[in-house]
Amino acid sequence: MNRLSHWLKQEVFGLKLLKLLGMFMSLKIAYLGIVVLIYRYLTISPQRKDVGIKIISIELPVILLMSVIVEEIAFRLLPLLFAQEVLKLQLPGVLVVATISSVLFGWSHGSLSNIPIQGVAGIMYCVLFLKTAGLRKNYVKGLATTITTHYLFNISLAVIIFCQGARQI
């Protein structure tokens, strides 16, 4: 815990921040690929909530951005702010709150079968939030970093899905 605490408390700026974001995105993509392969092997199908978006439209980037902002406020900022400011928890307690919040984040994406995918991604976003400034109570920087990363991942995924669908037509 001491090494993790030390690493989380070192704020990153500039190129180090970009390198961290690249590493984070690479880990998330690799993890997602592994989970998808395992789910296919076990014939598990994660549930998806139908949010009413049936077609790709010019509004999709805005819809994705708004959903990411809401998710990052609800599942990162508010729980971690509550843990640090109201409950006055130290890092181990903050990480417990981050884990609970991340499980709820995964579950909110469909069902319990979504927790290994989106829940683990939620933990990654919490660590990113804390590493980029959340532990130093610079919540705006932490929130901006996770919103940007989460949005870039979601928009990339939407483009990939769109391109795959276009090939099947």
Q: Which tens digits make up the pLDDT trace of 138-158?
A: 999 999 999 999 999 999 888
Amino acid 44: pLDDT: 79
Residue 74 exposed, middle or buried by CB count within 10 Å (0-12, 13-18, 19+):
middle
Give me the pLDDT at residue 169, please. 42
- Taking residue 27's Cβ as centre, other Cβ atoms within 10 Å add up to 12
- Residue of 148, 153, 142, 149 whose CA lies nearest to 12: 142
Q: Judge whether residue 55 has pLDDT over 60.
A: no
Q: Tell me how many domains the chain contains.
A: 1
| Chain-centre distance for alpha carbon 112 | 17
Q: What is the rounded end-to-end Cα distance, in angstroms, of the chain?
A: 51
Q: CB neighbours of 46 closer than 8 A, spacing ≥ 6?
A: 39, 109, 110, 111, 113, 114, 117
Which domain, by its residues, includes 148? 2-168
Name the amino acid, one letter, at 169: I
- How much of the chain exceeds pLDDT 90, in percent? 58
Which one is predicted more confidently, 120 or 52? 120
Q: Which of 154, 126, 158 is nearest to 139 (CA)?
A: 126
Q: How far apart are CA 30 and CA 15, in angstroms?
A: 22
Assess whether pLDDT exceeds 70 at residue 51: no
Phi-psi region of 137 (alpha: psi -120 to 50; beta: other; left: phi over 0): left
**Of residues 122, 44, 32, the one with CA closest to residue 80:** 122
Residue 54 pLDDT exceeds 90 = no
pTM tops 0.95, yes or no: no
User: pLDDT tens for residues 106-134?
Assistant: 999 988 989 999 999 999 999 999 999 88
12-44, pLDDT tens digit by residue? 889 999 999 999 999 998 998 898 889 888 887
Residue 83 confidence (pLDDT) above 50: yes
Confidence of residue 94 (pLDDT cuts 50, 70, 90): very high
Task: Report whether pLDDT(93) > 50.
Answer: yes
Output the CA torsion sign for 48, 149, 95, 1: positive
Indicate whether 105 pLDDT > 50: yes
Average pLDDT, the chain: 88
